[in-house]
């Protein structure tokens, strides 16, 4: 599959009001922060606006034609997202506030399975954690896929363990094989690291985890927007990702789960629309996904995400991934050719996706970021919600450039030139 050409990228940028404005303004900013938040094409903005202007109604509430139309749009978006990520059924897609919220829904649901009557959900005993049982993560996790599992271990008495990273911030299949054991009950790991860009071998890891009876949880925030992802084929039990990183609206995330595991998971939040029967003494709950969606939902945001996955599908994720790989190669090669820059993660660009983070010798990342901002290069600086990983690498923070299907080669070159400019500006001496 051929990569998107420069001409096609220029056409795509014209479909984004943000980039159309930049490209029409001489000397404007280079946007290299899609790993934090991606920009949105007009079709996404228009879909959400059109729904709010002409079809807004309370979904799943009432029998009017307007409610029916709104509900059809809402559930149509769920079906579109399911197809995009290889979920066999739309009911495997649960709406959340964001990916962090999605992971908390899961972790708190498992806690409910260990507390009291598990809200009467049949089969919830499969999530029971006993003293000595283990929850396993990696040292490279985003805080969103770390803290919920720390808390679950603390609340249940399970043992919290992690796979240490190596010198470059990555870990291997062999490391996971050594860490997994008969007491592992949950194994949570990221598909693509938001710091190193390292791509985990998901299918093989799932096979190892299932062999010892562990439930697998995939942080797919940095993979779903950038490479073809088929969660059903990968065999992962649960996964989470965010709309705002994949050309969609803010305020919406997705929890994916295998049907039998969602069926057995108690809800972590309760209220209207998630129930079938309520008395003054108890409540009975809906099947998934509505069991996990109490209250008024982010309806227009879901419609916007449905439009976003349609846009991505039309572009072609294979072609977009090939284009982004070329850009990441350009990033990695440019960093490697510049003395005084330390690339975090694998030096082989084929083992990373979407981004490159660097530590600039002799400079704090915030100083680097401020200089880049003055040059019109927009990046992310800090610990990227991955403090343990940075600590393991012996640094407090880093400077991250990330790409998307709209990124240009010129933007990559502006980033590399700005890094070298920062070294000159601050008088940092580097050895060749």
Bridge partners (DSSP) of residue 399 are 358, 381
Mean pLDDT (whole number) for 100-112: 98
State yes or no: pLDDT of 329 exceeds 70: yes
Boundary-marking domain end, from 313, 328, 354: 313
Of 88, 79, 77, nearest to 232 by C-alpha is 88
**Strand 215-219 to strand 184-190: parallel, antiparallel, or no bridges (unpaired)?**
parallel
Of 209, 215, 159, nearest to 186 by C-alpha is 215
Active site residues: 385
Bridge partners (DSSP) of residue 377 are 30
| Phi, psi torsion values for 99, nearest 5 degrees | -65, -35
CATH code for position 157: 3.40.640.10
Please tell me the distance from the alpha carbon of residue 421 to that of residue 376, in angstroms, as a whole number. 13
Are 200 and 294 in a shared domain?
A: yes
pLDDT of amino acid 309: 98
Q: What average pLDDT does the chain have? A: 96
Give the rounded percent of residues in the chain with a pLDDT score beyond 70.
Answer: 99
Cite the DSSP H helix spans in 257-374: 259-263, 299-315, 317-336, 365-374
State yes or no: pLDDT of 429 exceeds 80: no
Q: In 79-198, at which residue ranges do the beta strands (DSSP E only) sit?
A: 93-96, 134-138, 159-163, 184-190
Are 231 and 376 in a shared domain?
A: no
Q: Is residue 321 part of a domain?
A: yes
Q: Is residue 180 part of a domain?
A: yes
Q: What is the pLDDT of residues 210-238, one digit of tens each?
A: 999 999 999 999 999 999 999 999 999 99
Are 87 and 32 in a shared domain?
A: no
Please tell me the distance from the alpha carbon of residue 271 to that of residue 292, in angstroms, as a whole number. 10
Q: Is residue 70 part of a domain?
A: yes
State yes or no: pLDDT of 430 exceeds 90: no
CATH code for position 368: 3.90.1150.10
Q: How confident is the model at residue 67 (pLDDT cuts 50, 70, 90)?
A: confident
Q: What is the pLDDT of residues 7-32, one digit of tens each?
A: 999 999 999 999 999 999 888 899 99
Q: What is the pLDDT of residues 110-124, one digit of tens each?
A: 999 998 888 889 999
State yes or no: pLDDT of 44 exceeds 90: yes
Give the rounded percent of residues in the chain with a pLDDT score beyond 90.
Answer: 92
Q: What is the pLDDT of residues 333-377, one digit of tens each?
A: 999 999 999 999 999 999 999 999 999 999 999 999 999 999 999
Mean pLDDT (whole number) for 162-178: 97
Q: How many CB atoms lie within 10 A of CB 123?
A: 14
Q: What is the DSSP string of 367-400?
A: HHHHHHHHTTEE-EEE-TT-HHHHHHTT-S-EEE
Signed CA dihedral, 320, 321, 325, 326: sign only: negative
pTM value is: 0.96
Mean pLDDT (whole number) for 72-100: 97
Are 184 and 305 in a shared domain?
A: yes
Q: Is residue 430 part of a domain?
A: no
Question: How many whole angstroms from its chain centre is CA 37?
Answer: 10
Of 428 and 42, the structure prediction assigns the larger pLDDT to 42
Mean pLDDT (whole number) for 73-81: 97
Q: How confident is the model at residue 154 (pLDDT cuts 50, 70, 90)?
A: very high
pLDDT of amino acid 283: 93
Are 19 and 95 in a shared domain?
A: no
Are 243 and 144 in a shared domain?
A: yes
Are 361 and 225 in a shared domain?
A: no
Are 186 and 260 in a shared domain?
A: yes
Which helix H or strand E contains 254, and what residues bound it?
strand 253-257
Tokens of 33: 């922060």
Q: How confident is the model at residue 1 (pLDDT cuts 50, 70, 90)?
A: low
Mean pLDDT (whole number) for 388-412: 97
Q: Is residue 1 part of a domain?
A: no
CB 419 within 8 Å of CB 358: yes
Mean pLDDT (whole number) for 298-307: 98
Boundary-marking domain end, from 313, 337, 353: 313
Are 297 and 154 in a shared domain?
A: yes
Are 270 and 150 in a shared domain?
A: yes
Are 189 and 213 in a shared domain?
A: yes
Please tell me the distance from the alpha carbon of residue 201 to that of residue 179, in angstroms, as a whole number. 15
Please tell me the distance from the alpha carbon of residue 334 to that of residue 155, in angstroms, as a whole number. 47
pLDDT of amino acid 432: 58
pLDDT of amino acid 289: 97
Are 82 and 177 in a shared domain?
A: yes
Q: What is the DSSP string of 83-112?
A: HHTT-SSGGGEEEESSHHHHHHHHHHHHHH
pLDDT of amino acid 26: 84
Q: What is the pLDDT of residues 177-196, one digit of tens each?
A: 999 999 999 999 999 999 99
Boundary-marking domain end, from 296, 313, 330: 313
Please tell me the distance from the alpha carbon of residue 266 to that of residue 114, in angstroms, as a whole number. 10
Mean pLDDT (whole number) for 34-51: 98
Q: Is residue 431 part of a domain?
A: no
pLDDT of amino acid 431: 62
Q: What is the pLDDT of residues 264-294, one digit of tens each?
A: 999 999 998 899 999 999 999 999 999 999 9
Of 118 and 90, the structure prediction assigns the larger pLDDT to 90
CB 354 within 8 Å of CB 226: yes
Domain count, the chain: 2
Please tell me the distance from the alpha carbon of residue 161 to that of residue 187, in angstroms, as a whole number. 10
Please tell me the distance from the alpha carbon of residue 82 to that of residue 94, in angstroms, as a whole number. 10
Please tell me the distance from the alpha carbon of residue 50 to that of residue 300, in angstroms, as a whole number. 9
Print the domain residue range for 26.
6-41+316-425
What is the rounded end-to-end Cα distance, in angstroms, of the chain?
38
């Amino acid at each position: 599959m051929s990569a998107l050409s420069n001409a096609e990228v220029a056409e795509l940028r014209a479909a984004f009001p943000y980039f159309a404005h930049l490209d029409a303004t001489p000397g404007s900013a280079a946007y290299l922060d899609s790993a934090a938040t991606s920009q949105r094409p007009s079709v996404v903005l228009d879909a959400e606006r059109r729904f709010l202007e002409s079809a807004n109604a309370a979904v799943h509430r009432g029998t009017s034609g307007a409610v029916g139309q709104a509900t059809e749009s809402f559930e149509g978006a769920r079906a579109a997202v399911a197809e995009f990520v290889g979920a066999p059924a739309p009911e495997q897609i649960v709406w959340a506030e964001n990916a962090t919220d999605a992971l908390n829904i899961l972790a708190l649901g498992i806690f409910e399975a260990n507390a009291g009557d598990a809200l009467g959900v049949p089969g919830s005993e499969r999530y029971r954690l006993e003293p000595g049982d283990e929850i396993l993560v990696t040292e490279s996790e985003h805080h969103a896929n770390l803290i919920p599992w720390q808390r679950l271990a603390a609340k249940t008495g399970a043992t919290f363990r992690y796979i240490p990273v190596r010198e470059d911030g990555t870990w291997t299949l062999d490391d996971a094989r050594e860490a997994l054991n008969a007491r592992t009950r949950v194994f949570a790991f990221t598909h693509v690291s938001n710091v190193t860009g390292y791509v985990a071998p998901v299918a093989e890891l799932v096979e190892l985890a299932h062999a010892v009876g562990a439930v697998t949880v995939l942080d797919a925030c940095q993979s779903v927007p950038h490479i073809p992802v088929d969660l059903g084929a990968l065999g992962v039990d649960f996964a989470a990702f965010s709309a705002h990183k994949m050309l969609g609206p803010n305020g919406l995330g997705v929890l994916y789960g295998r049907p039998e595991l969602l069926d057995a998971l108690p809800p972590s939040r309760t209220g209207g629309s998630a129930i079938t029967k309520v008395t003054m003494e108890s409540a009975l709950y809906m099947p998934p996904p509505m069991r996990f969606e109490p209250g008024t939902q982010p309806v227009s945001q879901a419609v916007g995400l449905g439009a976003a996955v349609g846009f991505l599908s039309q572009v072609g994720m294979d072609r977009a991934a090939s284009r982004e790989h070329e850009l990441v190669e350009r990033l990695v090669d440019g960093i490697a050719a510049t003395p005084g820059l330390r690339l975090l993660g694998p030096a082989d660009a084929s083992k990373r996706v979407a981004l490159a983070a660097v530590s600039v010798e002799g400079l704090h990342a915030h100083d680097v970021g401020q200089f880049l901002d003055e040059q019109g290069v927009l990046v992310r600086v800090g610990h990227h919600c991955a403090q343990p990983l940075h600590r393991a690498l012996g640094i407090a923070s880093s400077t991250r450039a990330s790409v998307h299907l709209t990124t240009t080669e010129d933007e990559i070159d502006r980033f590399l030139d700005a890094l070298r400019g920062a070294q000159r500006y601050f008088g940092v001496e580097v050895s060749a």
